[in-house]
Chains A and B, each alone.
Chain A
Amino acid sequence: MLAVKELCKTYKGAAEATLKGLTFAFPEGKIGGLLGPNGAGKTTTISILCGLVQADSGQVMIHGLPQDAAHREQIKKIIGIVPQQIALYPQLSAVENLTYFGNLYGLKGKALYEKIMHYLEVFGLEKSAHKEIHKYSGGMKRRANIIAAILHDPDLLILDEPTAGVDVQSRSMILQFLRRYNEQGASILYTSHLLEEAQSLCDEVAIMDEGKMILQGKPELLIDELPECRNLEDVFLHYTGHALRD
């Protein structure tokens, strides 16, 4: 599904490299969690995976395709991104937003409208379909944000903290949906600071810090390897330390 090898990136003017030979891989059809403290390089990694930022060196393979100029458009068709921000127009309704992004993917007409209405129902937004996004609650915005990324049925869904700042009900709905979406065959790459959530959702996690991979594996195995750790958060703190990363 997703393989990253020896990825290096230093931004112009930066004193230190953001990525220092990052390597990890997640199998196809699974939910992978990319975890790390602030400044670990998660966002840069995702940006390189999407083709928005170019790595200085290293390789990225997505569903057998190398992430390079020749395959960038092909890769865009098979990935869906849920950014951390609510990447929707607040003044437009959910239907208007989703119609616009659907159109950009080449979807149109009745088929698109039916798909939008289906997903709005799945995410419990059907009654607010024509309400402007700025009138939505935080949880509703997050759910609409996910729909915008799956309209074109991507094989790989990349989510950057999809449940940040949402209530328990919305979080539960989002996680349930992600599991169902994964069961239908899609791969999911997920980043979050909520390690309890990552532990319950992800088949495998990769913990990175300071631009390098620290460890990767199934959450339950990682916990079992360290007798003093009771959960993934303990494992995370064990490897990344307690120092603040602001």
Chain B
Amino acid sequence: MLRLLATIRKEWQLLLRDKTGLTLLFVMPVVLITVMALIQDAPFKDYQDVKFDILTVDNDHGRLGKYIREGLASGGQFNIIDTLDGRPVTEQQARELVNNGRYKISIIVPAGSTAAIVSNANRIVNDITQRMGMSVSLPVKQHADSLNVVIYFDPAAKKAFKGAIHQALDNFLTQVETDMLLGRIQQQLRRKDTTATPNDTLPIRLQAVGLKEHATGTSKQLDVVSNSVQHNVPAWSIFAMFFIVIPIAGNMIREREDGSLLRMKLIPGSYLLILAGKMLFFVGICLLQFYLMMLVGIYAMPLLDLPKLVMGHYQGATLLVAGAIGLAATAYGILIGTLFKTPNQALNFGAISIVILSAIGGIWIPLEVMPGNMQVIGHLSPLSWGLDAINDLYLRNGDIGYVWKNVLRLVLTGGVMLAVAGFVEKRRMN
């Protein structure tokens, strides 16, 4: 026990004097998660959360144009801009401004579109009333015009963004046509029913079946959405935890070079206890890093106008996952420190390998948006196991049952790396 505690104290003293190491382990990750959360805040937001300027050219001056403008504006998602420098926006002007990227979207409501909708509604009502034996004939156009509301998108706009805008506008058009039709039907029915007063409305409820989102988890399910903070804080914390490879590998190579390792192996008692003390210390540092980052996510992120991190209900499971990540990271550091002969080799390989493992493991961008074959490769990265487990706990409100497989993977991988390191070290001695 004395060996274990002495080693932990020695590692602590060494770390306290290593200003670069301390910066790398604690300051850089805080800066990293803050910067990444800020940068990725907008892309992570749903389109409903982002307010866009829409250039609107209303050549119709009728009900449709008004309805579209009011509808878009009332959603709070769009700023309707129909004049520039006090003059109405022209179609040509709108197209140019969107094409050069100054505006993301422009909508052109063609002349006569309201009349076309009214005509179409009248045609349907005429048909219905004739079939009911009523002699009503509302005015309709002889030739149905083919009219389209035109949308211009910034050429740099993403496909998903275009899809979302398309859907929103489609909904408005359908809504206008439905309202017109229902209005006409109500009007004709009131005309037939002579006992009805002008204020007597006929309730026509079109949507009998609605749509409501429910949480998939238990009743304790938190209302958490995957946002910039929920992704970036755990993801980059895991990345930072794996960067413990750098001080561990450097520390091990220095011990080997300066003979301290030799001295330790010549002291009676198992060297494994010394190694266990070293591992315990660095796993502890990883846990400290992890919870420091979580505190930043909970308390500092809201100060930067970012969402607050939500950690789920199962703190024990979170501690277990963080410990397993720390163990895998520490074991990786020991392996790197054993495999390489010079600190430079170890530091370069260690840093680059972590960047690669993090990139394929969904730390930079979620695995779900990667191509299929990259997702398969990504799931082999220990960083992705850690992130999956944290997402299970934070976003799916899972408990230990959700995460044990990933915890086991991390612990087993750590064990295998330690075994390889032990084998290499033994071989080197002989």
Contacts and interface: CB of A to CB of B under 8 A. Distances in A.
Q: Do A and B come from one complex?
A: yes
Interface of A: 11-12, 50-54, 73, 76-77, 79, 81, 83-92, 96, 99-101, 103-106, 108, 132, 148-149
Nearest to A105: B267
A101 B14 contact: no
B17 A101 contact: no
A103 B273 CA distance: 13
Q: Give the most central of A11, A87, A88, A99: most B CB within 10 Å.
A: A87
B339 to A, nearest CB: 17
Given A53-B430, A76-B267, A83 B17 contact: no
A106 B265 CA distance: 14
A11 B430 CA distance: 6
B17 A91 contact: yes
Contact of B6 (A11, A77, A88, A104): A104
Contact of B266 (A52, A85, A86): A52
Nearest to A72: B268
A103 B3 contact: yes
Interface residues of B, number: 27
Nearest to A73: B268
Contacts of B258: 85-90
B18 A86 contact: no
B59 interface: no
B143 interface: no
Contacts of B23: none
Query: Majority SS of interface residues in chain B?
Result: helix
B220 interface: no
Q: Give the most central of A12, A92, A100, A106: most B CB within 10 Å.
A: A100
A87 B3 contact: no
Interface string B264-287: 111111000010000000000000
B263 interface: yes
Contacts of A96: 10, 13
Contact of A104 (B13, B18, B274): B274
B430 A12 contact: yes
A91 B19 CA distance: 11
B259 interface: yes
Interface in B204-261: 257-260
A104 B7 CA distance: 8
A42 to B, nearest CB: 15
B262 A106 contact: no
A86 B17 contact: no
Contacts of B3: 103-104
B10 A132 contact: no
A73 B273 CA distance: 15
B266 A76 contact: yes
A89 B14 contact: yes
Contacts of B6: 99-100, 103-104
Interface in B415-430: 427, 429-430
Given A87-B260, A101-B267, A105-B268, 20 more contacts: A11-B430, A12-B427, A50-B266, A52-B266, A52-B429, A53-B430, A76-B266, A76-B267, A76-B268, A81-B262, A84-B259, A85-B257, A86-B258, A88-B258, A91-B13, A91-B14, A91-B18, A100-B10, A103-B6, A104-B274
B268 A81 contact: no
B258 to A, nearest CB: 5
A101 B9 CA distance: 12
B2 interface: yes
A132 B268 contact: no
The 10 lowest CB-CB distance pairs between A and B, nearest first, are A87-B259, A103-B6, A85-B259, A76-B268, A83-B259, A87-B263, A91-B17, A100-B10, A104-B267, A87-B260
